[in-house]
Amino acid sequence: MITILIKDKVDPFLIEELKERSFIVKNSPEKQDTLLQEVRENEILIIRSATKVTREVIDAAAETGLLKLIIRAGVGLDNIDFEYARTKGIMVANTPEASSSAVAELALAHMFVLARKMVVANLSLREKNWNKKYCQGIELSGKTLGVLGMGRIGKSLAHKASALGMKIIYSDIIGDLNVNPAWKFVSADELICNADFISLHIPCNQSGSFVIGKSELKKMKKSAFLINTARGSLVDENALIEALDKGEIAGAGIDVYRQEPCDNIKLLKNDRVSVTPHIGASTREAQYRIGREILQIIEKYSNCGIPVRY
């Protein structure tokens, strides 16, 4: 009988469906101190963002050889040393399609918040300050959105932004994807220099260097906004704060951080920044779709011994 360990919070639907299929489910979210022992005792591990599957965890699992599959309930694999896991005979899978729309909507929400100065408007009005003149904003229609990384989420965002009348330029490591004749492929440098909104939808830089650092921020328009719902390590937070303080860019919408939970007070309390606590995939609909995708992965593993993809 296959035993499944769930280490982060998932949709209750998934747990119910797994049990109904006669899998043995052990649900112990947020108990990280037990992970090293638990991976020795279970065949499948399901995680989200909080749990880190390091070499230490993988080595612990390899002592018994029972762990065969790690599933990340989300898009990336940054919190799993998946290359090392493969050397130990452990397969890794994720759910890349399920949360694309949810993340794209959050990126768009940050754009609206910044364009209409809703951070200041909301906070000042709660203090009974009627700062109507200070809150004059801009419209998204007619502005240029630069999508850095035209994958599933980037495409979803571009479609939504196009419907609002935004012009789309994009850059992707693969090159010109010919995804839409109205969307223009440009170099990353051209995108950074010309976009009114820059939204990041790429994985971490393998070299560990920032994709958006001091030099990139200086190239942006002073009226431009940076949106990051992808990975916290893509942006130099200190350089971003400095650029905001100097007026080198207009603002930023941030959902992911170098360290989570984020304790960078200068970033969190900056009134030019719209912040959310890594909630890109946190919608009822996305979590349900993620649950469905995990079920498909597990059923395929159970029947064929292989994961779907990653």
Domain boundaries, the chain: 3-98+284-304, 100-275
pLDDT value at position 310? 45
- Annotated catalytic residue, options 48, 72, 152, 278: 278
Strand partners, 71: 46, 93
Show the low-confidence residues of the chain (pLDDT under 70). Answer: 30-31, 305-310
- Annotated catalytic residue, options 110, 201, 231, 272: 231
Strand pairing report for 184-185 and 251-254: unpaired
pLDDT value at position 208? 75
pLDDT value at position 30? 65
Domains 3-98+284-304 and 100-275 share a fold: yes
Instruction: Establish whether 278 is a catalytic residue.
Output: yes
Superfamily of structural domain 3-98+284-304: NAD(P)-binding Rossmann-like Domain (3.40.50.720)
Q: Which CATH class is domain 100-275?
A: alpha beta
pLDDT value at position 193? 98
Q: Tell if the pTM clears 0.85, that is, is over it.
A: yes
pLDDT value at position 307? 57
Instruction: Establish whether 292 is a catalytic residue.
Output: no
pLDDT value at position 133? 86
Residues 6+ apart with CB under 8 A from 50: 7, 8, 30, 32
- Annotated catalytic residue, options 260, 284, 285, 309: 260
